[in-house]
Chains A and B, each alone.
Chain A
């Protein structure tokens, strides 16, 4: 194959700079020693990171986001793992329709989901509750949990299972001792990707969160609507750092290209 020419490399350089610039500028401004938005030209300072500690609502929102992400990803896996095993192993009527239904939260705009859940949970008397947030997040992260588990279950070596069955294992023992360990990398990666999706969701959560159950993106969004100051850049820098850590772990253990391939698949 031919190499990239100089023009292609110039285009590539500009492209990468533009892709990275907004993220970089947030992280740089977060270290400003000034009291206003500016690039740190007179040395770096952690003052705006310390300022976060004076805003308990950001700290609280962070714990809400963390708990919500961890719990909803776990619960969605409880539903997704058996469903993935069924879809990977059996050819049954309605299989494609079921798969399409389970992937449909990818295709439905999150603003519509937010409205639907707001209406539903308010009628159910759960409006603004943490339980409502969990259930809603279980639905929106489900496709990610399902897809990675499905990939692991499809690529699994069935002979090991057959050997276990021939030795008398069955039912729960078979699943716990043989099947689950074999698909575990897929399940853990599914959990991580689901966690990131839940941790970052704004559009749907902004409809459901009430004071006390506001997640970090919601808190940041409401703050930005009023004013943009270095405080929100230092909070963003922390969020970016957390996501980057999760991303690097995901890349190490599973391969980011595998995680992302088909991420935008619209449920076809």
Chain B
């Protein structure tokens, strides 16, 4: 290759990515940096935002137990949602994977399809199903004799976890599904021919192999649940706040932007640390699977 051509091929990838790179620096990185800076600004009911550098908002978040409680609620809901999706989504992915061709792709479409349907519509569905004390869910559970008195779902954490688990379930099924595709069905047959029962096969053969899928699904579900907005806002109502709905309130109702920016920055930093940290842990633990 001639010198000029070599130089051109070294410059080509940068020329091709330059527009997108400029777009991302200009309208993603700069706004994010501005948000972090905003969290250090002052705010008053009458004076508005004052561009000074103070730690007032961060101090308020660190000392006022309201914020600790709110963040703890956010992460509690996210953890419970993650457990629920793993508990139900992993077996479902396994069952799906053992179905025959046509049924498999049909049910895969039914379960993954909701991923693309508006979260507002899906959450509205749960609000209708919960609907006060004589909603359909409570009627069904009572007629089955599972519960004696109706469980309050609307405006409670229970309702939020159920609806969020439904919204996030496709991510878990998809993630475990992907892990199952790498699994060699012959191993299962080999275990069976050596006399292993179904429980042993699931515990000793299947579980260890799909665990990376469950864990990476858990990371996705956790980070999306912890920052979810629509479902907590509709099911939780105006009082039961999580990080995203609180930030929304500070920005569009109270108009205390610097405080809202601090809540959002803390949420972002916490999530990035948790996601990057657990990714690294999983990859080290299951290095051979990711090869």
Contacts and interface: CB of A to CB of B under 8 A. Distances in A.
Nearest to B30: A120
Interface of B: 9-10, 12-14, 16-17, 19-21, 23-24, 27-28, 30-32, 34-35, 38, 88, 91-92, 95-96, 98-99, 105, 107-129, 131, 136, 163, 166, 169-171, 174-175, 178, 185, 188-189, 192, 198, 217, 219-220, 223-224, 226-230, 233-234, 243-244, 247-248, 251-252, 257, 260-261, 264-265, 267-268, 271-272, 275, 279
Nearest to A99: B17
Closest 5 CB pairs between A and B?
A22-B125, A109-B227, A120-B31, A86-B16, A116-B31
Residue among A21, A85, A109, A240 with the most chain B CB within 10 A? A109
Nearest to A22: B125
A228 B177 CA distance: 36
Nearest to B21: A98
A247 B116 contact: yes
Main secondary structure of the interface of B (DSSP, over half): helix
A11 B91 contact: yes
B34 A111 contact: no
B110 A16 contact: yes
B223 A112 contact: no
B136 A80 contact: no
A23 interface: yes
Interface string A193-207: 000100110110011
A1 B188 contact: yes
A79 interface: yes
Interface in A144-172: none
Contacts of A111: 227, 229, 243-244, 247-248, 264, 267
B267 A112 contact: yes
Contact of A12 (B19, B95, B113): B95
Interface of A: 1-4, 8-9, 11-12, 15-16, 18-26, 29, 37, 78-80, 82-83, 85-87, 89-90, 92, 95, 98, 101-102, 104-105, 107-112, 115-120, 123, 135-136, 138-139, 142, 196, 199-200, 202-203, 206-207, 217, 220-221, 224-225, 228, 232-233, 236, 239-240, 243-244, 246-247, 251, 256-257, 260-266, 268
Given A90-B9, A207-B251, A225-B233, 14 more contacts: A16-B110, A21-B125, A22-B166, A23-B117, A102-B20, A104-B28, A109-B223, A116-B34, A202-B230, A228-B128, A236-B118, A239-B118, A240-B117, A257-B105
Contacts, number: 259
A199 B118 CA distance: 8
Nearest to B110: A16
B205 to A, nearest CB: 12
Contacts of A264: 171, 174-175, 217, 220, 224
Contact of B34 (A107, A109, A120, A261): A120
A101 B24 contact: yes
A180 to B, nearest CB: 14
21 contacts: A2-B198, A15-B92, A21-B125, A25-B125, A37-B131, A82-B16, A82-B17, A86-B12, A86-B13, A109-B226, A112-B264, A112-B267, A117-B27, A138-B23, A202-B118, A206-B229, A217-B120, A233-B128, A239-B117, A251-B109, A268-B279
Nearest to A101: B24
Nearest to A262: B178
A118 B251 contact: yes
A206 B248 contact: yes
Given A109-B268, A263-B174, A11 B92 contact: yes
Nearest to B111: A19
Given A19-B114, A79-B23, A83-B20, A236 B248 contact: no
Nearest to B244: A111
B166 A18 contact: yes
A207 B248 contact: yes
Nearest to B224: A264
Contacts of B170: 260
Contacts of B117: 23, 200, 239-240, 243-244
A256 B31 contact: no
Contacts of A25: 125, 128-129, 136
Given A86-B16, A119-B35, A15 B88 contact: yes
B129 A2 contact: no
A110 B225 CA distance: 12
Contacts of B163: 22
Contact of B95 (A8, A86, A246): A8
A244 B229 CA distance: 23
A123 B34 contact: yes
Contacts of A203: 228-230, 244
Contacts of A79: 19-20, 23
A82 B30 CA distance: 23
